[in-house]
Amino acid sequence: MAKEAVKKIKLQIPAGKATPAPPVGTVLGPAGINLQEFCTKYNDATRDKMGDILPVEISIYEDRSFDFIIKTPPTSFLLKKYAKINKGSVKGATETVATLTKDQLKEIAEIKLPDLNAYNVDDAMKIVAGTARNMGIAVEGLEDTAE
C-alpha cells in the first residue's frame, strides 16, 4: 500500500543553495523532517540549474519520511533572465521595459511546457506572452492586442 502524505509544502528555493537556515528551516522544521537530508538531496538534484529559482513540492509522510518534485522555474523569473532585467514594469502592460525575440519566447515556453496547462508549444507561447505583456516585456513580431 502506498504511503499517504500528511502534509504538502511548496517552496521556491535557489537551485543548489538550500540550507537548514531560514526560510527552508522555518518552514520544514515544524514538519519534523531531517533538514540536512532534504537540503543535501535538493542541492544534488538541482546542481545543474545553479542560479535559477526552482519551486519544489515536498510531500511529508507519517513516518517523517519525505519526497519532493522539482518544478520548472517561474515564468516571470525566466522572462527577467532572458530579457536581462531585474524587475518587470511598475505600470504593467502600459510601460515597456524590455523586448524579447519570438525564439526566446519559444525557448521559455518549451522550458515551462511540463508545468503549464497547455498541450503544445504554441499554446504555451501564448501563456508566456501574456505574462510577458503584464510585466511590460514586449515580444518582437507579436502585435499587442490590448485595447
The residue assigned the cell 511548496 is 10
Q: Is the pLDDT of residue 143 over 70?
A: no
Residue 145 included in any domain: no
Predicted confidence at residue 2, as pLDDT, reads 62
110 shares its domain with 128? yes
Domain C-terminal end among 70, 94, 118: 70
* Average pLDDT, integer, range 136-142: 80
CATH number of the domain where residue 114 is located: 1.10.10.250
| One domain for residues 79 and 129 | yes
Give the residue, 143 or 118, on which the prediction is more confident.
Answer: 118
Let me know: does 70 contact 54? Beta carbons within 8 Å. yes
Could you tell me if residue 85 is inside a domain?
yes
Q: Are 18 and 40 members of one domain?
A: yes
Higher pLDDT, 112 or 143: 112
Domain residues for the domain of 22 are 5-70
Question: Per residue in 37-87, pLDDT tens?
Answer: 888 888 888 888 887 888 899 888 888 888 888 888 888 888 888 888 887
Query: Is the residue at 147 inside a domain?
Result: no
Task: Work out the mean pLDDT of the chain and round it to a whole number.
Answer: 83
Same domain, yes or no: 34 and 86: no
73-98: pLDDT as tens digits: 888 888 888 888 887 777 777 778 88
Lowest model confidence (mean pLDDT) among 34-38, 94-98, 100-104, 119-123? 94-98
- What is the DSSP code string of 56-85? EEEEEETTS-EEEEE-PPPHHHHHHHHHT-
What are 107's three cell numbers? 525557448
Question: What is the total count of domains within the chain?
Answer: 2
3-class DSSP assignment, residue 53:
strand
Q: Are both 55 and 111 inside the same structural domain?
A: no
pLDDT in the model for residue 147:
36
